[in-house]
Structure 1
Amino acid sequence: MSDSQSSTTKRCITAEDLYRLHWVSDPAIHPISGEIAYVEQYINKEWTDYNSGIWLLSSEGASALPFTYGPKDETPVWSPDGSQLAFLRTTDGKRQVWIIPERGGEARQLTHVENNVRSLAWSPDGTCISFVAKTAENPSSPTSDGGTQEAQLKGRVVNRTKAKSDGYGLWDDTRDHLYVTDVTSGHTVQLTSGAYDVAEPVWSPDGQRILFVARIAEHSKEDTDLRKQNDLFTIAPATSNGDAAAPLKLTHSELHIESAAYSPDGSTIAFYGHDRHAKGATQTRLYTVPSSGGTAVCVSETLDAHLGNAGMSDMRSHLHIGPPRFSADGQSLYTLVTLEGNVHVYQFALDGTFKILTQGDREIYQFELTSDEQHIIAASTDVALPGDLFRIAIHSGIEERLTRVNDSLLDEIEISVPESFWTEVEDGRRVQGWVMKPAGFKEGVSYPAILEIHGGPHAMYSNSFFHEFQLLAAQGYTVIYTNPGGSRGYGQSFTNVVLGDYGGHDYTDLLSAVDEAIRQFPFIHPERLGVTGGSYGGFMTNWIVGHTDRFRAAVTQRSISNWLSMYGVSDIGYSFTEDEVGGNPWDDCELLWKQSPLAYVQQINTPLLILHGEQDLRCPIEQGEQLFTALRRLGKPTQFVRFPASSHELSRKGHPQLRVERLQRITNWFVKHQI
């Protein structure tokens, strides 16, 4: 907000302001000069797609300059000597590795593999780049991205238990495998093959091994899609005759491992993971293991918190945060930690002691360290800022904002700044929530309120910018949002509350938070309430309207209505249902039906808008269809809006025009029903 401009001269935010937002991510620090390459994404002028380019900031933080021109460039990674920048560019629907000289010029395409590339990494000597790409086990099989007429006339054989992924589609006969390409010649070698998927590859400091995460079957009959643990493996970049070697297993199949990094001397590996003692609700922790293999040791035992970023908003979707970062002396590790509405950078010594390095009510969603470890370059958001880069001095805490990608928009619009509150619930837990006042707020006036419920459920509303919430406030609504039992950020026992009890303590937490918000903020009209949420938040919206008539109208988004069918149709259905609800359809039919909102459809009297993406594979559209059909059959007030070609990520990275329409339909539904 400009100091010279008061809120009275500003306008309210609109759904169409989405078209003006810019998003920054992926800071990469030059190893010598300290220059910062980063990605800036925005919606194109036709409002039909997202463009992105790589920008360059001097080490002093002078004005940023465009370094590549896209239209779809991402994931910048400097070579070890800083002479070249590798990045991913998408052209004609194919994402490949490109390289551009340090001082700019013409970028050249390095890889030419069949499918999209991700997870690129330079070898320590700068001669090679490793990457991961989908690889057909049977090249003659039609694949998800093969839209030819010939492919449309062939049956697609499915043999895997986990056969699809939201946002991608059917995997068919493909696996994620590891490749290495020579930077000079472009010669590419496939290093891994077989019935497993490679994730998060990193090079050893001596360049002799590449470390990765995978589930590799111990015997021919094992279905690794049913195994919840995975392992660390290493593989040589190539044998002396150029052939790929066999992977070497380092860990003991005891943990769910996410990503890993070598210490500078190569003696130790640090990684994120957990032991699944609370199934999928288990907090991610920080471990080390000798690089030769052995028993892992938990470094973060003393902190009851989730390591990584569990923050949730509609500004970004599942950005890669990478592995933990070792200090130069190998004696400590830097990581993000999710705790009580904030995400900050922490430093853990190997003995488990830790320091909090960043401060304030914010969500740091990505970060890098300068080579001297004196500063953090953080991609950070707060309730009034969609996201920018900051340089933060580790010892003094002094901050410098390096980018201002949304200032022209923010200077025009009124922002509602949330106020935090806490609710003590019946079992003694404390539930954190926030209230946003409506635009043009006046003392002595009562205002309607909308309860927003996040997805997950093992996620967290954070101190971050939320376009949807700002839009509701601009429409004259108070916005209440909270982190009920099951959320991340409040310790393991708090997250466990929801397991086997969906619609139990989480339901009462939400209603108690509404009661407390009305008590602490008496301008909230107690009878003019609406409710909305997506994914798990959609499940809870469905559950709430099936158990109370307290809300005048509701909007359920990408929701779950029936666990019996969810088990078999979702891309995570069988594992998620078993972990979260605690059963399967053949042994526990009564339990799954009892936990399904559809079982209570006859009790729904609240006007319910159902929003769903037609290509949602996480909570497939049949979940919305079942609920809509039942409501129509019972003569209940409802409407169903299907968004074409939209996945579970519609609200965060769906088609821009559909994202705007979604926001408009939410606000219009509440207006229509006089909330």
Structure 2
Amino acid sequence: MTHRKITSEDLYKIKTPADPRISPDGSRTVFTVSSIIEKTHSYQSHLHVINRHSQAEEQWTFGENKNHSPRWSPGGKLVFVSDRSGVSQLYLMKASGGEGRQLTFSSHGASNPLWIDDEQLLFLTYFQEDDSYEHPKRKAEQPAPLEVTQIRYKSDRDGFIRDRKSRLYHLNVKTGETREWVSCEGDAESPSVSDDQLAYIHTPPEIPGKGLVSDVHIKNVKTGTDKNITAGRGIFSKPQFSPDGRCLAFFGHEKGYKSATLQKLWLYDTENEMLQCLTGEWDMYAGDAAVSDSLYGAVSPAIQWTADSKGFYMVVTDRGSTGVYYGSIEGLMYPVRMETEHVNGFVMHPSEHWGVLSISTPISPSELFEADFQTGEMVQLTRLNKPWLEGASISAPQPLETEAEDGWSIHGWLMKPAVMEEGKKYPMILQIHGGPHMMYANTYFHEFQVLASQGYAILYVNPRGSHGYGQDFVNLNRGDYGGSDYKDLMSAVDAALEDFSFIDRERLGVTGGSYGGFMTNWIVGHTNRFKAAVTQRSISNWLSFYGVSDIGTFFTEWEVGGTMPEDAMKLWDHSPLKYADEIDTPLLILHSEKDYRCPIEQAEQLYIVLERKGKNVKFIRFPDQNHELSRSGHPLLRVERLNAITAWFNEHV
């Protein structure tokens, strides 16, 4: 039987359901479906609604634009965000569907709607200094210099910030009147409301030597009093009041292990003004730490409170999977669904213990499922990706575990070529994830399936530094980049060659992005066992990274263990560029020109040095793209990237 190969262009066929929201009466679930418009090579997102009783599905928005962030009001109205006017604004739709009515008219756009009641909304907008919702600054007709007065003046997401601040605004739906609810230095976002209490995240300007801070504030909107309940000690996100307003739950940590600190769940008692880390003794990551290249439009969920305010549900990361846990305000935690899969979004009915989950597996992009956590029953609600997956050669990975040199267990997967012949040997590609404090998972990875369809085995593992295996494990590679983490990867390669006799040990390739790009550069400077390598959005020189990355100062200090200029020699010792003379592996360098996380000068330095030395190297630059090229970049360039990777390995491995 002939099976169709998965190709780079199949990226255009992937549909991603996300951000499910259950109606107040529990009868319907609204969600978004994101995909790529083939004729325009652009992204689109639309609202769909599923009837719980009939399971009939309807599409509620249309056109070549992005409609997302649907939110039901207590009375069943639906607000959502759309860019149909050219700028993202809020729109209101009746409970029965129909044409949306525009609610906001900010030249800066509006996002993240939150209902207070049936007539009041909060939303997020962006301003510059001395700007306002009603009287925006006129855009300069001529180019103007950028005056830089603080460390954080650019970001990979936003480019040059130019005093751009996020602000929370209140909207009266009937009158259209708007007013600012929070005035502060820095950014205000992620609101939660209970009666007169407003909780939000405040991110002040970066303080030299301290790195990023994001605090949880509670403001009384009547009296104006504003309290910082986390006191500048860490990085926090997604505050959510309990239905009775007694507790505020949120994610975060106090940087005990700097950027390698496990994210925990925190609880604040608003009556007694007491803060506690509810999962302080829990050696797991609260939230989703999995990486994927096929989740455009996905929304990472906050915790979901139960109606009685005594418990909640949340996503938890563990050993290559993510699942749903139930927790109580007393600190009891237990899994209600923890399978070999990637739960990347969910919503719970607050009183009936059932919910809608967005789940991806290694052989399927995300689909929606209804889960009853009392009976354990699961019902699949969508089959958006079934048509293009039918008849395709999909490779299901096998778990792999090996022991590191110092005794730590290294967990990962081996994906066989999609189609194999008995007795034939096949090349293998080692894939290395970014972060490094992220995790490969039991999720769909389009790049892996494309390479498997080309006849490659794919080895992907979670070396030390990865999330999902406890605090000690994730902290192991800080200050040791290129040390034991490199040995972990080589141990995994050795284990794969030992366990799978069909792998041709003379035909090995390696690739990775961000930290994975750093490690690819490091590997080819320290061994010649790989026939070819592709380094993506990589780091080659920590000395320059310190001053050019949007996270350069604190990331270099926290992760590599050095600062400039005091520790210049240490940073150079950990820089792959130092070992360029040893690189004999054919190397393809892929980098985006507007990457401010790992700026393109990192690729330029590496390419020029290798080219000058007569090495086998090629450099491909992707215009107008940032660090997220492989996940949310221009569709044509995402395909070009995949084809370039495939072509390089086909030529050299």
Whether 2:201 is the aligned partner of 1:213: answer: yes
> Which residue of structure 2 lines up, in the alignment, with residue 191 of structure 1?
181
Q: How does 1:175-324 map to 2 (within 5 A)?
A: 175-204=165-194, 206=195, 208-216=196-204, 223=207, 226-237=210-221, 245=224, 247-292=226-271, 294-316=273-295, 319-324=298-303
Q: 1:503 to 1:661 in 2, by over 3 A?
A: same
Whether 2:164 is the aligned partner of 1:158: answer: no
User: Could you tell me how far apart the structure 1 residues matched to 2:321 and 2:617 are?
Assistant: 37
User: Could you tell me how far apart the structure 2 residues matched to 1:510 and 1:120 are?
Assistant: 44
User: Could you tell me how far apart the structure 1 residues matched to 2:597 and 2:566 are?
Assistant: 23
> Which residue of structure 1 lines up, in the alignment, with residue 25 of structure 2?
32
Out of 123, 134, 152, the residue aligned to residue 126 of structure 2 is 134
**Contact kept in structure 2, 1:34 and 1:370, CA below 8 Å:** no
Partner amino acid, structure 1, of 2:171: T
Shift of 1:463: 0.4
Which deviates more from structure 2 when the two are superposed, residues 60-69 or residues 256-265? 60-69
Shift of 1:93: 3.9
User: Could you tell me how far apart the structure 2 residues matched to 1:506 and 1:152 are?
Assistant: 49
Which deviates more from structure 2 when the two are superposed, residues 63-72 or residues 377-386? 63-72
Out of 89, 96, 102, the residue aligned to residue 96 of structure 1 is 89
SS in 1 for 2:99: coil
Shift of 1:503: 0.6
C-alpha offsets along residues 142-199 of structure 1, whole Å, 9 cap, x if unaligned?
xxx9996x44421122222111111321110221111111111111101223322112
C-alpha offsets along residues 291-326 of structure 1, whole Å, 9 cap, x if unaligned?
257342121134211110011110025843232222
Q: How does 1:35-184 map to 2 (within 5 A)?
A: 35-60=28-53, 62-70=55-63, 71-82=65-76, 84-123=77-116, 125-139=117-131, 150-184=140-174
User: Could you tell me how far apart the structure 2 residues matched to 1:545 and 1:294 are?
Assistant: 54
Shift of 1:565: 0.9
**Contact kept in structure 1, 2:198 and 2:221, CA below 8 Å:** yes
**Contact kept in structure 2, 1:61 and 1:402, CA below 8 Å:** no
Q: 1:586 to 1:293 in 2, by over 3 A?
A: farther
**Contact kept in structure 2, 1:19 and 1:47, CA below 8 Å:** no
**Contact kept in structure 1, 2:432 and 2:460, CA below 8 Å:** yes
Out of 634, 637, 643, the residue aligned to residue 616 of structure 2 is 637
**Contact kept in structure 2, 1:438 and 1:476, CA below 8 Å:** yes
Whether 2:334 is the aligned partner of 1:355: answer: yes
> Which residue of structure 2 lines up, in the alignment, with residue 470 of structure 1?
449
User: Could you tell me how far apart the structure 1 residues matched to 2:472 and 2:565 are?
Assistant: 30
Shift of 1:14: 0.8
Shift of 1:464: 0.4
Shift of 1:47: 4.4
Which deviates more from structure 2 when the two are superposed, residues 247-256 or residues 103-112? 247-256
> Which residue of structure 2 lines up, in the alignment, with residue 664 of structure 1?
643
User: Could you tell me how far apart the structure 2 residues matched to 1:323 and 1:598 are?
Assistant: 41
Unaligned segments of structure 1, at least 5 residues: 1-7, 240-244
SS in 2 for 1:623: helix
Shift of 1:40: 0.3
Q: 1:317 to 1:581 in 2, by over 3 A?
A: farther
Partner amino acid, structure 2, of 1:161: I
C-alpha offsets along residues 563-598 of structure 1, whole Å, 9 cap, x if unaligned?
111111111111211111111121110111111111
**Contact kept in structure 2, 1:561 and 1:596, CA below 8 Å:** yes
SS in 1 for 2:88: strand
**Contact kept in structure 2, 1:166 and 1:617, CA below 8 Å:** yes
User: Could you tell me how far apart the structure 2 residues matched to 1:45 and 1:476 are?
Assistant: 27
**Contact kept in structure 2, 1:137 and 1:194, CA below 8 Å:** no
Q: 1:340 to 1:332 in 2, by over 3 A?
A: same
**Contact kept in structure 1, 2:109 and 2:126, CA below 8 Å:** yes
SS in 2 for 1:511: helix
SS in 1 for 2:510: strand
> Which residue of structure 2 lines up, in the alignment, with residue 343 of structure 1?
322
Shift of 1:225: 9.2
Q: 1:93 to 1:563 in 2, by over 3 A?
A: farther
Shift of 1:275: 1.8
Shift of 1:268: 1.1
SS in 2 for 1:671: helix
**Contact kept in structure 1, 2:16 and 2:297, CA below 8 Å:** no
User: Could you tell me how far apart the structure 1 residues matched to 2:618 and 2:149 are?
Assistant: 37
TM-score, normalized by length of structure 2? 0.96
User: Could you tell me how far apart the structure 1 residues matched to 2:634 and 2:340 are?
Assistant: 31
User: Could you tell me how far apart the structure 1 residues matched to 2:333 and 2:218 are?
Assistant: 29
Partner amino acid, structure 1, of 2:577: L
Q: What is the CA RMSD across the aligned residues, in angstroms? A: 1.9
Unaligned segments of structure 2, at least 5 residues: none
> Which residue of structure 1 lines up, in the alignment, with residue 600 of structure 2?
621
Partner amino acid, structure 2, of 1:10: H
Shift of 1:246: 5.3
SS in 2 for 1:391: strand
User: Could you tell me how far apart the structure 2 residues matched to 1:159 and 1:574 are?
Assistant: 15
Q: 1:522 to 1:452 in 2, by over 3 A?
A: same
Shift of 1:252: 3.0
Out of 511, 529, 544, the residue aligned to residue 508 of structure 2 is 529
User: Could you tell me how far apart the structure 1 residues matched to 2:150 and 2:91 are?
Assistant: 33
**Contact kept in structure 2, 1:558 and 1:613, CA below 8 Å:** yes
Q: How does 1:263-662 map to 2 (within 5 A)?
A: 263-292=242-271, 294-316=273-295, 319-662=298-641
User: Could you tell me how far apart the structure 1 residues matched to 2:137 and 2:555 are?
Assistant: 29
Partner amino acid, structure 1, of 2:49: L
Shift of 1:448: 0.4
Shift of 1:646: 0.8
Partner amino acid, structure 2, of 1:130: L
C-alpha offsets along residues 446-503 of structure 1, whole Å, 9 cap, x if unaligned?
1100000001100000000111000000001111100000000000011011100111
Which deviates more from structure 2 when the two are superposed, residues 438-447 or residues 303-312? 438-447
**Contact kept in structure 1, 2:26 and 2:349, CA below 8 Å:** no
Shift of 1:209: 2.1
SS in 2 for 1:348: strand
TM-score, normalized by length of structure 1? 0.93
Shift of 1:69: 1.6
**Contact kept in structure 2, 1:250 and 1:291, CA below 8 Å:** no
